[in-house]
């Protein structure tokens, strides 16, 4: 089952990335046409048919560094540019969101429903008809690969994903507000949730006799408020998933109360059968690089080879308490520098100015697409 984990990781993490980018593009009042262009371009590369066909072949999961680099390249597959700090925070938030969803799954089948929820919600973020067709193709690949798996096989996939996320603990404000995350970054399952369809509410113990019949029935207080779902979540293309896991939690049309209980409602020829796992990973990287390179070249051509508008997105603005802390640290550094030599002080100030992220310095940085073209 470990060889079928990567597609689930990629589609779910990719969905979360699009959710976050959509929210920040709106928060920073980026013009709607440019924002839509960013989402369309990233989703188009992410759901490219050749790339998905290779992704769904049995293979081992990327290591954490390789997977992060994959999404770094994907995030820059448009006119948007992120600095290193924003990219790091973006990836951390993507990881913690998917970790929370998989951790809160109430039955193995939820793993499929979470992925389908991401595909469903991506459909609302993109406008190109061609990408909607790509989403349909991704749906059929998910159902073909995971739809016939037993509960035991799906549970093993869930364990593999949780093992991948095991040592990653980042505090997320929205989870802390919902009281589903501890201060150390670990999650806690709420005592109020919906039991999957076909199961019973905990609180009963049956004692069977030698004849196989129930000899005694004991009841106890389960310590929570549980209800049983009235119908199972649908895996149809336009079905009702009956779970909020995998939905866009940044959607402003969704009420805050609906998230209090998260359990309620991502030029080559391929000889697919003969490559080992290392070859699959290498081919995926090469294919994504080709797709990114082609996309960048097409954008330059469309713009007549001239400099085109670039959206420099700052995903997470500094909070007031962070600004105060930064100001205090700067004052302390000034006091320290005052007792050192003038040469040492000037050196520190020069280093500090080089570390400041300004628009002038940002314009001079090579983007990932430039690096790919140079390669």
Residue ranges covered by each domain of the chain: 2-189+244-254+276-301, 321-374
What are 120-137's pLDDT values in tens digits?
A: 999 999 999 999 999 999
**Which residue has better confidence, 255 or 283?**
283
Average pLDDT over residues 347-353: 59
Other Cβ atoms less than 10 A from the Cβ of 132: the count is: 14
Q: What does the alpha-carbon distance between residue 189 and residue 226 come to, in Å, rounded to a whole number?
A: 13
For residue 136, the surrounding DSSP H or E stretch is helix 129-146
- Whole-prediction pTM value? 0.71
Question: 3-state DSSP call for residue 162?
Answer: helix
To which residue do tokens 């920040």 refer? 24
Question: 3-state DSSP call for residue 368?
Answer: helix
Q: State the chain's mean pLDDT as an integer.
A: 77
Is the predicted pLDDT of residue 367 greater than 50, yes or no? no
The most confident of the ranges 4-8, 264-268, 365-369 is: 4-8
**Percent share of the chain, pLDDT over 90:** 45
Other Cβ atoms less than 10 A from the Cβ of 1: the count is: 15
What are 19-30's pLDDT values in tens digits?
A: 999 999 998 888
**Which residue has better confidence, 178 or 272?**
178
Tokens linked to 208: 């069977």
| Cα angle 292-157-166, degrees, rounded to a multiple of 5 | 80
- Treating both helix axes as pointing N-terminal to C-terminal, what angle do 110-125 and 6-27 enclose, rounded to 10 degrees? 40
To which residue do tokens 């997977």 refer? 67
Q: What does the alpha-carbon distance between residue 313 and residue 249 come to, in Å, rounded to a whole number?
A: 20
Question: 3-state DSSP call for residue 126?
Answer: coil
């Amino acid at each position: 089952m470990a060889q079928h984990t990567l597609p689930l990781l990629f589609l779910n993490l990719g969905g979360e990335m699009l959710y976050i980018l959509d929210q920040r593009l709106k928060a920073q009042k980026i013009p709607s046409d440019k924002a839509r262009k960013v989402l369309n371009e990233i989703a188009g590369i992410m759901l490219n048919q050749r790339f998905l066909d290779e992704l769904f072949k049995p293979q081992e999961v990327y290591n954490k560094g390789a997977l992060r680099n994959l999404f770094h390249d994907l995030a820059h597959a448009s006119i948007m540019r992120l600095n290193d700090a924003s990219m790091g925070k973006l990836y951390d938030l993507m990881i913690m969101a998917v970790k929370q969803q998989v951790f809160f799954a109430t039955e193995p089948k939820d793993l499929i429903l979470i992925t389908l929820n991401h595909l469903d919600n991506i459909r609302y973020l993109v406008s190109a008809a061609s990408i909607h067709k790509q989403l349909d193709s991704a749906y059929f690949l998910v159902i073909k690969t995971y739809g016939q798996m037993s509960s035991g096989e799906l549970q093993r996939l869930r364990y593999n994903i949780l093992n991948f996320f095991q040592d990653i603990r980042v505090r997320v404000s929205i989870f802390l507000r919902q009281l589903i995350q501890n201060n150390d970054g670990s999650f806690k399952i709420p005592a109020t949730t919906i039991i999957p369809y076909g199961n019973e509410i905990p609180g009963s113990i049956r004692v069977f006799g030698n004849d196989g019949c129930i000899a005694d029935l004991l009841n106890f207080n389960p310590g929570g408020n549980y209800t049983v779902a009235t119908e199972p979540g649908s895996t149809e293309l336009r079905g009702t998933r009956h779970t909020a896991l995998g939905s866009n939690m940044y959607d402003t049309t969704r009420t805050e109360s609906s998230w209090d209980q998260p359990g309620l409602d991502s030029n080559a020829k391929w000889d697919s059968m003969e490559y080992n796992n290392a070859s699959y990973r290498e081919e995926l990287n090469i294919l994504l690089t080709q797709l990114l390179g082609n996309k960048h070249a097409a954008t330059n051509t469309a713009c007549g080879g001239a400099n085109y508008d670039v959206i420099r997105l700052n995903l997470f603005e500094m909070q007031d308490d962070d600004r105060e802390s930064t100001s205090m640290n700067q004052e302390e550094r000034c006091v320290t520098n005052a007792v050192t030599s003038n040469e040492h002080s000037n050196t520190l100030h020069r280093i500090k100015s080089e570390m400041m992220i300004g628009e002038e310095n940002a314009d001079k940085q090579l983007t990932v697409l430039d690096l790919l073209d140079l390669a």
